Amino acid sequence: MKYRRILLKLSGESLQGPQHYGISTDVLQSYAEQIKSVAESGVQIGIVIGGGNIFRGLQGAKRGFDRVKGDQMGMLATIINSIALQSALEDNGVKAKVLTSIRTEPIGEYYSKAKALEYMDDGYVVIFGGGTSNPYFSTDSAAALRGVEIEADVLLKGTRVDGIYTADPEKDPSATRFDEITFDEVYARELHIMDMTAFTLCKENGLNIIVFDMDTRGNLEKVLADGRVGTLVKS
């Protein structure tokens, strides 16, 4: 494998599968099997998963929710997804721990970098729930922050598309995919990979990003084995 330690960002929306809400057990099982395959190769894995399949704070704010309370509800949604993924991993024989940015004992342990690295060294997949614990910050920002903190070699952003395109491929059939692109070119082209706070945090700390299709079985292992899946964003 090309990397020793990774931060995997998973989409909450992808977790809902075709049912458009909640958690698809089929998608959850697919994710668990892919993560197991990589974990068995010796790669240390940290995971941040979104909560948009249950509740998204920004959408709640547009419907009359107080933004801070809406974001707090979204944080709890990410913890629900983290527990679901932990259960699926354990059902597949993978040791997993949930560390949360807000105190949720006994549901999850309170996060610290030292604890996360200790668990990874002991062979656990570590799932970071609760976002950054602060409103107005997305789970992309949480993924970037945790990736930098645990000194991950790369941030893998698992999505429903197979990389970064010159335009939205669902709207523009002539859009072409990049194999590689620099942080500066993403800025110049005004491409939307993740929120700007998260993207800038990765750039300033030298954390490369790979955007790839997590919903295609086997892609996680492929992207780590040869890097020919998805799009690499680098300095």
Determine contact, residues 230/12, Cβ cutoff 8 Å: no
Q: Which of 52-56, 90-94, 156-160 has the highest mean pLDDT?
A: 90-94
Determine contact, residues 224/1, Cβ cutoff 8 Å: yes
pLDDT at 97: 98
Give the chain's mean pLDDT. 93
Q: 129 is written with which tokens?
A: 């729930």
pLDDT at 62 over 80: no
d(CA 51, CA 219): 22
pLDDT at 213 over 80: yes
The CATH number of the domain where 94 resides is what? 3.40.1160.10
pLDDT at 226: 77
Number of neighbouring beta carbons within 10 Å of residue 68: 13
pLDDT at 160: 86
Confidence of residue 150 (pLDDT cuts 50, 70, 90): very high
Confidence of residue 163 (pLDDT cuts 50, 70, 90): very high
Task: Find the mean pLDDT for residues 175-191.
Answer: 95
Q: 96 is written with which tokens?
A: 């997993």
pLDDT at 161: 87
Which amino acid would we find at residue 179? D
Task: Find the mean pLDDT for residues 57-67.
Answer: 70
d(CA 137, CA 118): 27
Residues in CB range of 9: below 8 A, 6 or more apart: 47, 48, 49, 50, 139, 140, 143, 155, 156, 157, 158
Structural domain total, the chain: 1
Q: Which of 156-160, 199-203, 220-224, 225-229 is the least confident region?
A: 225-229
pLDDT at 8: 98
pLDDT at 32: 97
d(CA 14, CA 211): 14
Kindly tell me the burial class for residue 93, based on how many C-beta atoms sit within 10 Å of its own C-beta (0-12, 13-18, 19 or more). Answer: exposed
Range of the domain at 211: 5-234
Higher pLDDT, 122 or 61: 122
The C-alpha R_g of the chain, in whole angstroms, comes to 17
Q: 88 is written with which tokens?
A: 């699926």
Q: DSSP label at 111?
A: P
pLDDT digits (tens, 9 = 90+) for 20-59: 889 999 999 999 999 999 999 999 999 999 999 998 766 6
